Chains A and B, each alone.
Chain A
Amino acid sequence: MKTLAASTAISTSKFLTGFTAIVLGLTIVLGLGFLQDANNTLHNAVHDGRHSAAFPCH
């Protein structure tokens, strides 16, 4: 029987490459979806996009 560890074993460099891509992806998505700025400039720019993607907006 294959164990979970054996079936998903990948090299360190491959792990880090994918991990970096995921951190970058999450930073972009969560930044655009969640950041609130004091004078609402960012919020007003992305407002329609957030509402259309089911992000809590305001």
Chain B
Amino acid sequence: MADFRKLVAISLLAGILAGLLLSVLQHYQTLPLILAAEQFETPSAEHVHDWQPMDGWQRNGFTWLFNGLTGFGFALLISASMYWRDQRDYLPGLGWGLAGYLVFFVAPSLGLPPELPGTDSAELHSRQAWWLFTAASTAMGLFGLVLTKQRGLQIGGACLLALPQLVGAPHPEVAHALAPEALQQHFVLLTAMNNAIFWLALGALSGRLLRKVTFQ
């Protein structure tokens, strides 16, 4: 239990700090693009009565909270993996951060790129299912490829990395986006960059903070 509390404390601190960094980057880069894309949307009548955060501090506050909490969750995955493998310090942490970026951002984005509001997509549940399958398959694939020494497991890992991309993400029959294509491309580029910085910072911070504690 004592070890678990230390993992939680490390992850909370790393998650909040990396989440803050991501929030600042988003504030100046991608959130203006989301707001711009919304100008092309007409709100659907059925959703117009639902509660929404007010534009400004309230709306931004929820996004900052989302970034801090997901940062906490992702940092738990990193610190637990490093704890299992007796790793500490920022260099192995960077490696885990890179792995997290590949598993949770790059691999799913290859099939389902980050989208601006107003982009038509395939049915939500099928996209969520493909996203989960892709993250799980990529995580197991990376493990087999990088962390095992056996030829067979490494080949199996490479296959698991390729599998979700070969299966392919669900896409609508007729693609249609309200926002201009250039805006969407700009959004994908900035999102990819911001999340890379977020994941590397999260990994390095988690690894560095692990040096501060001794486990039982």
- Give residues in A with beta carbon < 8 Å to B: 2, 4, 7-8, 10, 14-15, 17-22, 24-30, 32-34, 36, 39-41, 44-58
Contacts and interface: CB of A to CB of B under 8 A. Distances in A.
A6 B47 CA distance: 56
Given A29-B74, A51-B116, A58-B124, 14 more contacts: A2-B149, A18-B84, A21-B4, A21-B80, A21-B83, A29-B70, A32-B70, A33-B70, A48-B59, A49-B62, A50-B66, A51-B34, A52-B26, A54-B109
Contacts of A55: 131
Interface string B78-106: 01110111000000000000000000110
B140 to A, nearest CB: 14
Contacts, number: 139
A25 B76 contact: yes
B135 to A, nearest CB: 10
A32 B66 contact: yes
A22 B34 contact: no
Contacts of B214: none
B73 interface: yes
Interface residues of B, number: 57
A52 B194 contact: yes
User: 6 nearest interchain CB pairs?
Assistant: A25-B76, A49-B66, A28-B73, A21-B80, A56-B127, A29-B73
A20 B4 contact: yes
B81 A18 contact: yes
Nearest to B191: A52
Given A17-B3, A17-B83, A4 B112 contact: no
